[in-house]
Structure 1
Amino acid sequence: MDGPDRFRVLPTHSFDVIVIGAGTGGLTAAALLSQRAKRVLVLDQHSVPGGNATVFSRKAYRFDVGLHYLGGCHPNGLIPRILRAAGAEPVIFEEMDPDGYDILIFPDFVFRVPKGIEVFRERLQKTFPEERRGIDRYCVLLRSLEQILREPAHPVKTPWILLRSPLLLCWANRSFGDFLQSCTTNPRLQAVLAGQHGNYALPPSRASLLVGAGIAEHYLEGAYFPRGGGQVISDRLASAIEAAGGKILLKSLVQQILVHNGRAVGVRFESPYLGFQEVQARYILSNADIKETFLRLVPDGVLRLQTKERARHWEMAPALFVTYLGVRREALGNRLTRSNYWIHSSYDHEIQYRQAARGEFPEAPSVYVSIASLKDPMDDAHAPKGIVNLQLMAVAPSQPEAWGLSAEEMHGSLYRRNTLYRKHKEAFGKRLIELSRAVFPRLHEEIVYQEFATPLTHSRYTLSTGGTGYGIAATPKQFLFGRPEAKTELPGLLLCGASCRTAHGIAGVMMSGLRAASVILGPRLITETLGKANTISSS
């Protein structure tokens, strides 16, 4: 039986809450609110809900857009708890290889990142026996971060936790690279500890310590992949919204937030089916790109000049290039575990980011390899029988000029026809394939399908600034209190998403949706959703 019409039907023009953007944060907030009797409308310009947590199909392949692995998915974990509170049907999470969910490949050695801080510490000390003291120091920090991440239901306690951890208190506003330098001067060990930098798309010298070590700790409790891919989470949340009486309207581009008497009261949107429409609500919750929200959607003259100037100068996280492949299973050789691969051509993680920031194509970028067919073996929709669904990702320039494009060509999708753009896209995609042969020597011989996506592709589908999927760059200056909270200076306007204080990633944006919903429903929602703080991270 067909579900509700998500394109042509707008039953009313008055709601309690309007959510701009059907990304994971927006869907989470909308589901939590709908389950608690709020009349919610979710608007999104794309044809499917989910933002980065979507899939797309090509022939017999199904590729994930932005979800490649998750932490916090054990039965009592953060993500299952929020999904339950949102009224979503259960999602099955497949655990990745606990002996090496991330495999770091360097020119002269390999390091498998295992589940558990203590196992991780022992493996590091076995690999680097002369660095025991620095490794212990790093793991003390991970334990302190683990304590903070156990208390997301009680954000007020965070400053007191910092006071209980002198190490965290001293380094909370410093870079990840600075802290690593305080632990060790060994470039190989530093490269291992920052070897998953693609998870926050910043080099160690520029990443906040809290994001670099915090994301590492997040996965050390166990890494998972949702059975069926990222779209399953989005679909479960969308169904929960509709089952509770909420409305989702797709192919609906919000043009402006409506403001009356100093309060956000509605939005104006355009749909190919409904034309221009205006809808009203007591609260407007923007899950859209943060710069898009403050600099375009809110009318001029509403926000303070300082607020707009701050938004204008926010540095966004670098964007990623993706090579989507279907390869014959023989290409994997004996590498058949449920693992990600991080292929590093050197110990220096900095150069590639400097090159991308200058609008250059990195010569030897780190390549992240995700193999959905191995992480989710029960689902045969990822690729035809005997073929493996594989993705290669690396940081890339987001400036249109780097791709041979003018600003005028960026309106709409005509830029894709530009000969120079296509040439650059093909060349960089093949460069990632070549670099990946360090792990899969026969990869280039076994390809049966390939497709490339640039930062410009990502921007076209998600309307994100520069094509980033990570929001505001997680630098020390732009982390924690350097990021916006759910409430804004404009009454009635709330925020959620990757640029908020809870940071990026599925867990981060779900928390942002929970925080935003709690502004409307009251702070008890967080405690009721997550329960006692000391059980949040227990396995």
Structure 2
Amino acid sequence: MTFSYDMSLDPEYEKPTYVGTGNGLGGEKLKDEYDIIVIGSGMGGLACGALSAEYGSNVAVLESHIKPGGSAHTFSRMHNGGKYSFEVGPSIFEGLNGPSFNPLRTILDMLGEDLKCETYTGLGYWTPEGYWRFPIGSEKKFEDLIYERCGKEEGDKAVEEWSALRARLKTLGGSTTAVSLVNLRQDAGMLATTAGATPYVLTHPDVFLDLPLTFDSLHKTVDQIITVPFLRNYIDTMCIFCGFPAKGAMTAHILYILERFFEEGTVFCVPLGGTVEMAYAFQRALEKRGSELSLNTHVQELIYDKEQQRISGVRLKNGKVIKAKKAVVSNATPFDTVKMLPDGGDAPELPEGVREWKKTLGKLPRHGAIMHLFLAIDATDLDLSHIEDPAHLVVQDWGRSLQDSQNLCSFFIPSLRDPSVCPPGKHCIHVYSSGGEPYEPWEKLDTGSAEYEAFKEQRAEVLWQAVERCIPDVRKRVEFSIIGSPLAHEAFLRRDRGTYGLAWAAGTSAPFAGKLSNLLPFPFPNLKTPVDGLLRCGDSCFPGIGTPSAAASGAIAANTLHHIDEHVRLLKETAKRQPNYAYLDPGPIGDLYKAAVGWSTPSGELRGDGEEYGGRAPWE
């Protein structure tokens, strides 16, 4: 569900501290100054840090937790001498097993890092109508599924409507293969770095007319074309990973699915060793380039330099002050970022615009939290031949909101593809709700109290029932189980109120979305902030919620922080090294634009290395 909450009314009480999250007092061995400081080691922060290091900056990525990865990290438990590893976040990935249009994989390839994966070719659905499987990588198999679920008469209609939707969005969908998110930057240099798309634009001039549609709510298009309930429900479930069903989701969210999921050879991926391996790949890239990741290092406050009128560094929880020559980039949520400003953003020396920014961000709608259930089970004589895939969605009632945490959940059995995550003869299962679990009933409960434990069991019952759809005797097979509440989600992931993320529905521009929001309905606040020297990245920035999107936001932040020469160099090198990425090369037109606008990059307020800081460009 989506919630509106005024942070200025935040009650004063001590948040619970969980064993295993760290005390945040690390970082004592860090240097006194870096070019760039990144707060948070989620996919956005790690991508920003590693790419910034590739561009020549000296970077420190500071992580409050004892593990990297943000929502994409893995934790382990020992039981009867055996080790069980569990995911805490996303588990449905496409295109991680090799060069692809998935921006997370693209960035790893730009950095020369690999990611070992096992693959699978479908997604299980447990619905009121029964079990069915969405097959990826085949148009024919998807059409067969439509007829299986709809029958001949309605199936003919559904196939026709599905073809019409794909045709309507084909030009926009094609643009996703003409220019990548990693080509983007937030300054005039974007004219040069995206110039490789010029041939596509010249042959598809209607893309300009459809550009506003990219950021508009998908339901406006779906409602005009799709009437068959099966298709409407399917589209809603494909969108819900961004936090909204079709109503509220950007049209851009479905473009990748329409363009990519039905190509032959497309597969879902399980990173071997857990999703934390994605974080480790970025960490390797960061450290190979002489930069650092510091865990258990909590940032207490952003430091504001009154003379230069900019954020100049951070103060750690242990009291150490670290300076940033160019900028500080926050991978924290906007709600957590504003809390790190001096006096929580109310310090009188801050520009007036910063206080307004803080006040507005604090009241922005947000998604709810997530409930988790982690299961270690005995797989002796367990017959799972009725399923083919480790990832599954469970819907209780199509008539209820998919944002309702008691209606939609997912479960993931990574050990079906990666047996290294648990002892032989066992399985690990992660069950998690949609990001709509209300936080308010939890916030005043005492962790460990009988009332708290009873409420955990009550709210997690639907998660147990979800797994029972697939494994009826799962409760008898349990070796041990762990329930993760929104309070635990908040503590382990360092997200205010455990939120799934910012919940600004597509269709209108979000506050502080930048000058482009006057032309396009941009549903994300700007990665730049009203105070110089502070940028943001992560799932509350463009392109939004989701691990690949968060990584892309980090890339855009890194690109924006550096001269266009470095950005173009890496795009060209990647295109030359891997033919699949030829579309990244801005080409000769990009070189012409670079000569014209290169002088303005990065924008004045982000320059360091002894240069005098300048102002922002008029369009910023």
Give the shorter-chain TM-score range. 0.7 to 0.9
Aligned alpha-carbon RMSD (Å): 3.1
User: Which amino acid in the other structure matches residue 115 of structure 1?
Assistant: I
User: Superposition pairs for residues 349-360 of structure 1, below 5 Å?
Assistant: 349-350=400-401, 353=403
- Residues 71 and 397 of structure 1: is their aligned pair in 2 closer, same or farther, counting only changes over 3 Å? closer
Structure 2 CA distance for aligned equivalents of residues 524 and 496 of structure 1: 22
- Structure 1 position 223, deviation (Å): 1.8
CA contact (8 A) 1:117 1:139 kept: no
- Structure 1 position 14, deviation (Å): 1.2
Counterpart secondary structure, 1:319: coil
Q: Which moved more, 1:311-320 or 1:249-258?
A: 311-320
Q: What is the total number of aligned residue pairs between the two structures? A: 505
CA contact (8 A) 1:175 1:209 kept: yes
- Which among 320, 323, 328 is matched to residue 280 of structure 1? 323
- Structure 1 position 348, deviation (Å): 2.6
Could you tell me which residue of structure 1 aligns to residue 13 of structure 2?
none
User: Which amino acid in the other structure matches residue 79 of structure 1?
Assistant: L
Could you tell me which residue of structure 2 aligns to residue 115 of structure 1?
136
CA contact (8 A) 1:18 1:284 kept: yes
Counterpart secondary structure, 1:373: helix
Q: Give yes or no for the alignment of 1:254 onto 2:304.
A: no
Q: Give yes or no for the alignment of 1:191 onto 2:233.
A: yes
Structure 1 CA distance for aligned equivalents of residues 548 and 473 of structure 2: 36
Could you tell me which residue of structure 1 aligns to residue 311 of structure 2?
264
- Structure 1 position 219, deviation (Å): 5.0
Structure 1 CA distance for aligned equivalents of residues 108 and 533 of structure 2: 26
- Structure 1 position 279, deviation (Å): 0.9
User: Superposition pairs for residues 76-225 of structure 1, below 5 Å?
Assistant: 76-77=99-100, 78-88=103-113, 90-97=114-121, 100=122, 102-116=123-137, 118-119=139-140, 122-123=143-144, 125-127=146-148, 128-141=155-168, 143-150=170-177, 151-152=179-180, 153-155=182-184, 164-165=206-207, 168=210, 171-212=213-254, 214=256, 219-220=261-262, 221-225=266-270
Could you tell me which residue of structure 2 aligns to residue 402 of structure 1?
441
- Structure 1 position 277, deviation (Å): 1.0
Counterpart secondary structure, 1:241: helix
- Residues 170 and 52 of structure 1: is their aligned pair in 2 closer, same or farther, counting only changes over 3 Å? closer
- Which among 445, 448, 455 is matched to residue 479 of structure 2? 448
Q: Which moved more, 1:475-484 or 1:527-536?
A: 527-536
Q: Which moved more, 1:143-152 or 1:45-54?
A: 143-152
User: Which amino acid in the other structure matches residue 108 of structure 2?
Assistant: L
- Structure 1 position 491, deviation (Å): 1.8
Q: Give yes or no for the alignment of 1:368 onto 2:410.
A: yes
Instruction: Identify unmatched segments of 5+ residues in structure 1.
Output: 1-5, 357-361, 410-414
User: Superposition pairs for residues 312-323 of structure 1, below 5 Å?
Assistant: 312-323=362-373
Counterpart secondary structure, 1:311: helix
- Structure 1 position 80, deviation (Å): 3.3
Greater radius of gyration (CA): 2
Q: Give yes or no for the alignment of 1:14 onto 2:33.
A: yes
User: Which amino acid in the other structure matches residue 383 of structure 1?
Assistant: C
Structure 1 CA distance for aligned equivalents of residues 112 and 436 of structure 2: 40
CA contact (8 A) 2:217 2:246 kept: yes
- Residues 537 and 35 of structure 1: is their aligned pair in 2 closer, same or farther, counting only changes over 3 Å? closer
Structure 1 CA distance for aligned equivalents of residues 562 and 458 of structure 2: 51
- Structure 1 position 109, deviation (Å): 4.5
Could you tell me which residue of structure 2 aligns to residue 3 of structure 1?
none
- Which among 516, 523, 545 is matched to residue 482 of structure 1? 523
User: Which amino acid in the other structure matches residue 323 of structure 1?
Assistant: L
CA contact (8 A) 1:191 1:349 kept: no
- Which among 366, 384, 406 is matched to residue 423 of structure 2? 384
Identity among equivalent positions (%) equals: 22
Counterpart secondary structure, 2:319: strand
- Which among 510, 519, 531 is matched to residue 560 of structure 2? 519
- Which among 374, 377, 393 is matched to residue 327 of structure 1? 377
- Structure 1 position 124, deviation (Å): 5.2
**What TM-score, normalized to structure 1?**
0.84
Structure 2 CA distance for aligned equivalents of residues 478 and 23 of structure 1: 25
Q: Give yes or no for the alignment of 1:426 onto 2:475.
A: no
Could you tell me which residue of structure 2 aligns to residue 227 of structure 1?
272
- Structure 1 position 335, deviation (Å): 3.6
- Which among 54, 76, 98 is matched to residue 57 of structure 1? 76
User: Which amino acid in the other structure matches residue 293 of structure 1?
Assistant: T
Structure 1 CA distance for aligned equivalents of residues 527 and 242 of structure 2: 21
- Structure 1 position 262, deviation (Å): 1.2
User: Which amino acid in the other structure matches residue 457 of structure 1?
Assistant: A
User: Which amino acid in the other structure matches residue 285 of structure 1?
Assistant: V
- Structure 1 position 168, deviation (Å): 4.7
- Residues 200 and 319 of structure 1: is their aligned pair in 2 closer, same or farther, counting only changes over 3 Å? farther
Structure 1 CA distance for aligned equivalents of residues 45 and 224 of structure 2: 39
User: Which amino acid in the other structure matches residue 37 of structure 2?
Assistant: I
User: Which amino acid in the other structure matches residue 316 of structure 2?
Assistant: F
- Residues 56 and 263 of structure 1: is their aligned pair in 2 closer, same or farther, counting only changes over 3 Å? same
CA contact (8 A) 1:73 1:80 kept: yes
Structure 1 CA distance for aligned equivalents of residues 138 and 365 of structure 2: 32
- Structure 1 position 196, deviation (Å): 3.6
**What TM-score, normalized to structure 2?**
0.74
Could you tell me which residue of structure 1 aligns to residue 358 of structure 2?
308
- Structure 1 position 268, deviation (Å): 0.8
CA contact (8 A) 2:439 2:497 kept: no
Q: Which moved more, 1:145-154 or 1:40-49?
A: 145-154
User: Which amino acid in the other structure matches residue 50 of structure 2?
Assistant: A
- Structure 1 position 460, deviation (Å): 0.8
Counterpart secondary structure, 1:420: helix
Could you tell me which residue of structure 2 aligns to residue 348 of structure 1?
399
Counterpart secondary structure, 1:401: coil
Counterpart secondary structure, 2:313: strand
CA contact (8 A) 1:200 1:212 kept: no
